[in-house]
């Protein structure tokens, strides 16, 4: 039985037309997480995924220019587009026409949360980061045994200094259990204790592939490492927690090897330059000292030592004369000052002041006595006048003219007949004594 066999191109074109003619695929609304995202200068190629599936995506330059936010790896997005196939490869994909954020992907959210936590704990502080040794002897590398990372690092180190020993500590760099394996190897390197530098890393990949280097167990192992750590994880655009905690980050494994090792030729050349500079400096110092020695040998100090102190002797005589003159001048100034002070003291003698105050005191004393005498006479006259006035008002004077003062039995002065009763005994004070009388009758004013 004969069959018409299709070419691969014909089959792919047939499938492509099926996609193009399907009305349900011409406008698709899709939600998922961005993966394998790396911003390109033109068209964008990436993956949209959920927990179980992935689909390739393409977004042309014109459509991407209309996106108002900055897409990031792991970000959850809402996209609109059409699903079709790429006839050349037979792969179906979605052509994205628009994109907007729809929250944050789970891995990306976990990354940001751990990043915030470790930052608060000070694990990214520059003060904790150790300097990378300039001249290491042994370098440990924690990475996959089968990957290209270890080969790139070894090649870079050997080109720069073949005397440095590079030791691989193999570990899984992706998948379940990889984070704990990486942390264990870092601790093992520190326990050996005979390494100068530690490099950890792996090649590029999606956020899922790089995730072991975003685990807290790896971050703490790096932070607690006594050996300086260089991190080289993913591409230059990838950022992991390990990169932030490490003492130094390298964009590629080759750069990590360059950072960890010195260029032997440069070191040798530098040593030679320093040696030449030291030799030249020593020659110049010796030459200058020889010239100084020759100059000193020709000096008059060695030919005629007495000339060494001639000028000093003359200077001593000059200073002695200056000292004597200065002492005399100072004594003259002190004598003049003393005479002036004596003259001022005589003019301001306290004896004159005491005499003046004594005379003032005598004057004030006489004035006080005279004033006291005048006050005494005045007060005496006032007293005499008041005694005479009091004497005129005295009841004794009134009694001497024949009047008496009547007191009731309870010794109260009787001012009115209503103050006493018939039968009551009263006392009448008169000039020269008093009399007592009993009241036998009382005559009221109206009875007169």
Q: How confident is the model at residue 65 (pLDDT cuts 50, 70, 90)?
A: confident
Same domain, 34 and 81: yes
Residue 221 tokens read as: 């192992």
Q: How confident is the model at residue 302 (pLDDT cuts 50, 70, 90)?
A: low
Please choose, from the candidates 46, 43, 113, the residue with its C-alpha nearest in 3D space to the C-alpha of residue 77: 46
Domain enclosing residue 369, as ranges: 349-393
Residue 434 tokens read as: 């008093």
Is 116 contained in some domain? Answer: no
Is 110 contained in some domain? Answer: no
On average, the pLDDT of the chain sits at 85
Same domain, 53 and 172: no
Looking up residue 63, the CATH number of its domain turns out to be: 2.40.50.140
Same domain, 33 and 95: yes
Q: How confident is the model at residue 448 (pLDDT cuts 50, 70, 90)?
A: very low
Same domain, 145 and 211: yes
Helix (H, G, I), strand (E, B) or coil at 100: strand
Residue 398 tokens read as: 């009134």
Helix, strand, coil percentages (3-state) for the chain, rounded to 5, are: 50, 20, 30
Q: What is the per-residue pLDDT for 389?
A: 79
Q: pLDDT per residue over 188-244, tens digit each?
A: 999 998 999 999 988 887 778 888 999 999 999 999 999 999 999 877 777 899 999
Q: pLDDT per residue over 161-175, tens digit each?
A: 899 999 999 999 988
Neighbours of 95 (CB within 10 A): 16
Looking up residue 205, the CATH number of its domain turns out to be: 3.40.50.10550
Angstrom distance (rounded) from CA 420 to CA 443: 12
Same domain, 214 and 323: no
pTM, two decimals, is 0.45
Angstrom distance (rounded) from CA 58 to CA 46: 7
Cβ–Cβ under 8 Å, residues 227 and 248: no
With a cut of 80, say whether residue 399 has pLDDT above it. no
Is 2 contained in some domain? Answer: no
For the residues 378-393, what does the mean pLDDT come to?
84
Domain end point (choices 104, 134, 154): 104
Same domain, 306 and 216: no
With a cut of 60, say whether residue 447 has pLDDT above it. no
Same domain, 136 and 245: yes
Name the domain count of the chain.
Answer: 6
Residue 116 tokens read as: 């915030």
Same domain, 127 and 256: yes
Is 172 contained in some domain? Answer: yes
Angstrom distance (rounded) from CA 141 to CA 138: 10
Angstrom distance (rounded) from CA 188 to CA 194: 11
The percent of residues in the chain predicted with pLDDT above 90, rounded, is 32
Q: What is the per-residue pLDDT for 310?
A: 66
Same domain, 92 and 199: no
Is 85 contained in some domain? Answer: yes
Residue 222 tokens read as: 């790096």
Same domain, 90 and 204: no
Same domain, 255 and 311: no
Same domain, 274 and 384: no
With a cut of 90, say whether residue 437 has pLDDT above it. no
Q: pLDDT per residue over 308-350, tens digit each?
A: 666 677 788 788 888 989 988 999 998 888 888 887 777 676 7
Is 117 contained in some domain? Answer: no
Cβ–Cβ under 8 Å, residues 174 and 211: yes
Q: What is the per-residue pLDDT for 106?
A: 62
Angstrom distance (rounded) from CA 175 to CA 212: 7
Bridge-based pairing of strands 138-143 and 165-170 is parallel
């Amino acid at each position: 039985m004969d069959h018409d066999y299709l070419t691969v191109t014909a089959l792919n074109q047939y499938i492509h037309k099926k996609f193009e003619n399907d009305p349900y695929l011409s406008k698709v609304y899709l939600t998922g997480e961005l993966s394998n995202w790396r911003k390109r200068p033109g068209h964008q190629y990436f993956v949209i995924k959920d927990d179980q599936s992935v689909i390739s995506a393409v977004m042309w330059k014109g459509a991407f220019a209309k996106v108002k936010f900055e897409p990031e790896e792991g970000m959850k997005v809402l996209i609109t587009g059409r699903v079709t196939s790429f006839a050349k490869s037979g792969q179906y994909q979605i052509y994205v026409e628009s994109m907007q954020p729809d929250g944050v992907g789970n891995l990306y959210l976990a990354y940001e949360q751990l990043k915030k936590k470790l930052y608060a704990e000070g694990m990214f502080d520059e003060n904790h980061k150790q300097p990378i040794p300039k001249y290491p002897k042994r370098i440990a590398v924690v990475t996959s045994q089968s990957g290209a990372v270890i080969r790139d690092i070894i090649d870079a180190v050997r080109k720069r200094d073949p005397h440095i020993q590079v030791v691989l500590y193999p570990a899984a760099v992706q998948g379940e259990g990889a984070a704990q394996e990486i942390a264990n190897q870092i601790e093992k390197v520190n326990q050996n204790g005979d390494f100068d530098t530690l490099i950890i890393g792996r090649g590029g990949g999606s956020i899922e592939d790089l995730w072991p280097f975003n685990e807290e167990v790896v971050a703490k192992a790096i932070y607690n490492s006594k050996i300086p750590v260089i991190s080289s994880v993913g591409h230059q655009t990838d950022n992991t927690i390990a990169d932030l905690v490490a003492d130094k980050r390298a964009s590629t494994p080759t750069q990590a090897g360059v950072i960890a090792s010195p260029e032997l030729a440069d070191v040798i050349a530098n040593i030679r330059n320093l040696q030449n500079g030291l030799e030249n400096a020593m020659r110049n110092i010796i030459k200058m000292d020889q010239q100084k020695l020759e100059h000193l040998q020709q000096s008059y100090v060695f030919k005629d030592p007495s000339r060494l102190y001639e000028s000093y002797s003359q200077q001593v005589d000059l200073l002695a004369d200056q000292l004597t003159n200065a002492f005399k001048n100072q004594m003259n100034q002190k004598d003049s000052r003393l005479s002036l002070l004596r003259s001022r003291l005589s003019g301001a003698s306290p004896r004159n002041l005491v005499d003046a105050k004594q005379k003032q005191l005598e004057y004030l004393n006489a004035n006080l006595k005279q004033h006291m005498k005048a006050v005494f006479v005045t007060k005496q006259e006032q007293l005499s006048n008041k005694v005479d006035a009091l004497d005129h008002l005295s009841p004794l004077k009134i009694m001497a003219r024949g009047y008496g003062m009547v007191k009731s039995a309870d010794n109260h002065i009787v001012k009115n007949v209503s103050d006493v009763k018939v039968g009551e005994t009263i006392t009448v004070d008169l000039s020269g004594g008093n009399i007592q009388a009993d009241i036998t009758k009382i005559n009221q004013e109206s009875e007169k």
